[in-house]
């Protein structure tokens, strides 16, 4: 059952989180030593990520994101630290991947690429090694753009419905449905079809006219349930939107909607050619993500600097939002170990169940789902180090 969390219950400073995590001893500590991990110190990653990769990986490994740089991208920036260079025209950040002997290029996505999905971009640009996909993307593009996901940063979506009406006290989606209150959401969002098909929302209560503007929420004094991200809008409505400027409450969609939203994927035809690289590189992805969760502040400073240099993007980050997002993602279990206890792993049964629910809905939308698609076709845990945990 989902639990509503108020701001007071979830507000946790990055400093408090770092102290709490640092006090814990897990198998990741030994794994970190094996990977050459040290305190980040001056912000560089050279000493922390030192597995030799030059003989098995491309000289430059690129990661294509699906939006502008933000906290949930932090683990990739962690691998470079402050040693990278911004290309403001290409919307990239590039530098040495620790001291592994290769470079890492991090590419912004979403508006930066005209809204193209990373899985499609990988098939039109051979220089892209990894694309960030969602389970929906992987299923919906499985026939035309088959991918294999080798690591996931988040285990559940940060999607929430939030509100500002003090008289409401929703604890889960069932109560939202029973209330009949309007749910303001993006038109065409697949999760809405899933929630209605599972009888967790009534189609009649969904208003799909939302376009990201806070005007209606403010005008109706918070008496509408609005789609948003726990790592974004829940903070921004209190701190960055003066017209509202106070806390909101929320219920997590991710507790009912079993999608992975940050799958690190390769083209399916590159699985065998990249296998020797993946065996050594994917554990570094795991470790960087765990390190970022332990102490996000140095990399958050890098993110802020990168965004400041992307002068033509119109995208903004603040110190408050990156601290909030990197902290609350761990606090609320968005970033967590997989069900097997390994950081970055997929629950194969969960993915299979999701396919059975979502594939027919995506096919009805005209997306090209590969016939007979199974979870084993597009997610794998084979390259993960089972000793790396959060």
- What does the H/E/C string look like for 241-259? CCCCCCCCEEEECCCCCCC
Lowest mean pLDDT among 44-53, 58-67, 222-231, 271-280: 44-53
**Terminal CA-CA length for the chain:** 24
Give the pLDDT confidence score for residue 312 in this predicted structure. 86
Q: What is the mean pLDDT of residues 113-131?
A: 96
CA atoms within 13 A on the CB side of 178: 8
Using one digit for the tens of pLDDT, what is the confidence trace for 102-118?
999 999 999 999 999 99
Using one digit for the tens of pLDDT, what is the confidence trace for 153-177?
999 999 999 999 999 999 999 999 9
12-156+266-377 is a CATH 3.30.450.40 domain:
no
* Pair 173, 4: CB distance under 8 Å: no
Q: Give the other-Cβ count within 10 Å of 11's Cβ.
A: 15
Confidence of residue 44 (pLDDT cuts 50, 70, 90): low
CA dist., res. 86 & res. 268, Å (int): 30
Closest Cα partner for 106 from 75, 139, 137, 140? 75
Is residue 186's pLDDT more than 50? yes
Range(s) for CATH 3.40.190.10 in the chain?
12-156+266-377, 159-252
Superfamily the domain 159-252 falls into:
Periplasmic binding protein-like II (3.40.190.10)
Using one digit for the tens of pLDDT, what is the confidence trace for 309-328?
998 899 999 999 999 999 99
CA dist., res. 123 & res. 267, Å (int): 7
């Amino acid at each position: 059952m989902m639990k509503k969390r108020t701001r007071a219950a979830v507000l946790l400073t990055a400093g408090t989180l770092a102290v709490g995590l640092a006090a814990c001893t897990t198998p990741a500590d030994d794994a970190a030593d094996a990977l050459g991990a040290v305190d980040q110190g001056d912000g560089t990653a050279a000493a922390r990520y030192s597995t030799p990769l030059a003989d098995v990986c491309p000289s430059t490994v690129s990661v294509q994101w699906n939006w502008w740089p933000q906290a949930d991208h932090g683990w990739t920036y962690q691998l470079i630290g402050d040693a990278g260079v911004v290309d403001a025209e290409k919307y990239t950040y590039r530098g040495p991947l620790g001291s592994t002997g290769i470079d890492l290029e991090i590419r912004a996505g979403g508006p930066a690429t005209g809204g193209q999905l990373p899985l499609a971009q990988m098939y039109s640009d051979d220089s892209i090694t990894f694309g960030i996909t969602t389970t929906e993307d992987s299923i919906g593009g499985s026939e035309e753009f088959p991918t294999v996901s080798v690591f996931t940063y988040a285990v559940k979506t940060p999607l929430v419905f939030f509100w500002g009406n003090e008289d409401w006290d929703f604890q889960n989606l069932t109560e939202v449905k029973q209330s009949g209150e309007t749910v303001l959401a993006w038109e065409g969002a697949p999760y809405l079809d899933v929630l209605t098909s599972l009888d967790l929302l009534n189609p009649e209560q969904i208003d799909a006219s939302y376009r990201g503007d806070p005007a209606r929420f403010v005008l109706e004094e918070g008496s509408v349930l609005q789609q948003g991200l726990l790592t974004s809008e829940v903070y921004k409505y209190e701190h960055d939107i003066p017209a509202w400027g106070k806390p909101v409450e929320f219920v997590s969609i991710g507790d009912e909607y079993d999608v992975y939203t940050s799958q690190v994927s390769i083209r399916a035809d590159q699985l065998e050619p990249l296998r020797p690289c993946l065996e050594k590189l994917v554990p570094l992805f795991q470790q960087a993500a765990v390190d970022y969760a332990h102490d996000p502040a140095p990399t958050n400073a890098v993110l802020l600097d990168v965004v400041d240099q992307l002068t033509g993007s119109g995208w903004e980050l603040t110190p408050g939002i990156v601290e909030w997002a990197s902290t609350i993602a761990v606090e609320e279990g968005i970033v967590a170990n997989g069900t097997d206890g390994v950081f970055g792993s997929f629950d194969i049964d969960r993915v299979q169940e999701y396919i059975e629910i979502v594939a027919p809905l995506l096919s009805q939308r005209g997306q090209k789902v590969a016939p007979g698609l199974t979870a084993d076709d597009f997610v794998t845990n084979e390259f993960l180090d089972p000793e790396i945990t959060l």
